[in-house]
Amino acid sequence: MAVSTTVSKRITRKVPRAFLRRTFKQKKPHLRCDLLIHLNCLLFVHRLAKESRINACESKSRVIKKDHILAAAKVILKKSRG
């Protein structure tokens, strides 16, 4: 089982972090924030949007409402704790 988890981690990471950091520093040297924090924030927002869209579809709603986002945030935060 350990082999399959390492293989899936290799597949999901498409661009090496060192390359991203180097490129980010070359393009935007004046920014002080860390690239990984920014990427984690974008991933969280992406997961939140996906999960809230699923919640809206399950409740047969075309519009994503506050309740859908709050329910999705609870699920995502529970998964990210480990």
* Element housing 71 (H / E): helix 66-81
Distances (CA, A) of 76 to 2, 7, 57, 62: 24, 23, 17, 22
For 14-67, the pLDDT digits (tens) are 667 777 778 777 887 776 666 667 777 888 889 999 999 999 999 999 899 999
Band (2; pLDDT cuts 50, 70, 90): very low
Indicate if the pLDDT at residue 69 is higher than 60.
yes
pLDDT interval class at 9 (50, 70, 90): very low
Q: How many CB atoms lie within 10 A of CB 55?
A: 19
Which whole-number Å values give the CA distances from 50 to 7, 8, 36, 54, in the listed order? 24, 20, 21, 6
